[in-house]
């Protein structure tokens, strides 16, 4: 995430807010996560996509609910996320 923030300095505050929210919560499953992050999407039975910064950024994470571990795989701008090559990577579970 830090490399993304260095390239997109305006993302620092929204990503810090996301991290604070996710760190403070306990999420037993995706439905409970959606109570805090209503726009979160589940892709390819592996990745959870978060809209961050008023839909400017997409954070791609893998969540292990039992262990309460969230691994951030990628942070993209909305435009980067929408690229066909990135959509294919997500659908194939290749991050």
Q: Which domains does the chain have, with CATH numbers?
A: 2-92 (3.30.2310)
Q: What is the pLDDT along the chain (95 residues), one digit of tens a residue?
A: 899 999 999 999 999 999 999 999 999 999 999 999 999 999 877 899 999 999 999 999 999 999 999 999 999 999 999 999 999 999 898 89
Are 5 and 12 in contact by the 8 Å Cβ rule? The answer is yes
Are 72 and 64 in contact by the 8 Å Cβ rule? The answer is no
H/E element, 23 = helix 12-24
């Amino acid at each position: 995430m830090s490399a993304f923030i260095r390239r997109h300095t305006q993302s620092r505050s929204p990503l810090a807010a996301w991290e604070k929210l996710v760190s403070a919560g306990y999420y037993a499953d995706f439905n409970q996560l959606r109570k805090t992050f209503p726009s979160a999407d589940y892709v390819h039975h592996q990745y959870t996509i978060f809209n961050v910064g008023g839909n400017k950024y997409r954070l791609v994470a893998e969540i292990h609910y039992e262990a309460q571990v969230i691994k951030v795989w990628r942070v993209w701008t909305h435009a980067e996320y929408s690229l066909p090559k990135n959509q294919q990577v997500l659908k194939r579970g290749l991050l």
